Amino acid sequence: AQSVTQLDSQVPVFEEAPVELRCNYSSSVSVYLFWYVQYPNQGLQLLLKYLSGSTLVESINGFEAEFNKSQTSFHLRKPSVHISDTAEYFCAVSDPGNQFYFGTGTSLTVIP
């Protein structure tokens, strides 16, 4: 079975500072990796994903994540956060059977 661990439940950071949200996974099979973002009173939205190819993937709003197979990690980073980045962030993996496994989420709060 697959599992996802998000090491930080809450991350406060000042506006324009860098941030890293950590994600580790365990799996005995090849998986796809995802980061989802959830704004208040909304469903989860895909932020970025790794399926194959380059291990560094980027989103349109400046986030990036790097797949590290040896460390089984997929940490999310942004060099300079904005107030609008305040949200809940979920790391997820999917297996060949299209089953999705989510972490417990990290609440990112950007402080003005």
Partner 1 sequence: DAGVIQSPRHEVTEMGQEVTLRCKPISGHNSLFWYRQTMMRGLELLIYFNNNVPIDDSGMPEDRFSAKMPNASFSTLKIQPSEPRDSAVYFCASSLSDSNLHFGNGTRLTVT
Under rule CB under 8 A, residue 17 binds partner 1: no
Under rule CB under 8 A, residue 71 binds partner 1: no
Q: How far apart are CA 94 and CA 51, in angstroms?
A: 10
User: CB under 8 A: which stretch of 18-26, 29-37, 65-73, 77-85 binds partner 1?
Assistant: 29-37
Candidate residues 13, 19, 21, 34; the one interacting with partner 1 per rule CB under 8 A:
34
Q: Give, in order, the Cα–Cα distances in Å from 82 to each of 8, 15, 111.
A: 19, 5, 9
- Assign 85 to helix, strand or coil: helix
Nearer to partner 1, 55 or 80 (CB): 55
Q: How far apart are CA 1 and CA 78, in angstroms?
A: 30
Candidate residues 45, 55, 68, 71; the one interacting with partner 1 per rule CB under 8 A:
45
Nearest to 20 by CA among 50, 72, 63, 55: 63
Under rule CB under 8 A, residue 77 binds partner 1: no
- Assign 83 to helix, strand or coil: helix
Under rule CB under 8 A, residue 53 binds partner 1: no
Interaction site with partner 1 (CB under 8 A) = 32, 34, 36, 41-46, 49, 51, 90, 92, 94, 97-100, 102, 104-105
